[in-house]
Amino acid sequence: MLKSKHCGICENQISDKRTGTKCGITNEKPQFKNKCDKISFDKKYEKIILDTNIELETISRKKAKTYSTTFVLLAISIVIMLLGFLLGIFAFEGGVISTLPLIIIGVGFLVIPKALHPFVMFKQTLSVAKNKKDELDNLLSLYNVKYDLDLNFKEDRHGNLDVTPNVIFTRKYYR
């Protein structure tokens, strides 16, 4: 694990574009083995815990919408291709060779990427958010920090989410 991750949740972090991350107490770059003995937790790590968990929960709440959108668009694509195929059979039985069924089938194939894009993006963002949360939980477990989180989501008329977090630290010591 990167030492800068430890500094990212510490109140003593000094970040500079030229020199990078430094400790505010020693005024040097982080130089520790497994965990820092000078780390201090206050409000910064609570904000990081909340942001990470809210991001993961917000993405997870979009699962049903994403799956249903993907399913509906794939069904529409299959129906369009099937209609193009049936039109081609009907036209061929009538003695006409037409390119219209091929165009309709092609349009059906063009809908498939539109169907799969939200699904792929959902899976990628969910994976990234889970990895962030796992890294944060592993980092906090080094310092014996445990927490329980209760997030209450309220949606207004315009679809904006209002999140009311409730963080309860079951173990807050870190030495």
Task: Give the residue extent of every domain in the chain.
Answer: 1-40, 41-171
Query: 54 pLDDT exceeds 90?
Result: no
- How far apart CA 125 and CA 55 sit, in angstroms, is 10
Q: CA nearest 118: which of 52, 64, 54?
A: 64
pLDDT, tens only, 141-160? 888 888 888 887 787 778 77
pLDDT at residue 174 in the model: 57
- The yes-or-no verdict on residue 42 having pLDDT over 80 is no
Percent of the chain with pLDDT over 90: 39
Helices (H), the chain: 3-8, 44-60, 63-93, 100-142
Q: Is 94 exposed, middle or buried (0-12, 13-18, 19+ CB in 10 A)?
A: exposed
Report the chain's mean pLDDT, rounded to a whole number. Answer: 85
Q: pLDDT (tens digit, 9 = 90+) per residue, 80-132? A: 999 999 999 999 888 888 889 999 999 999 999 999 999 999 999 999 999 99
pLDDT for the residue numbered 3: 66
pLDDT, average across residues 52-57: 89
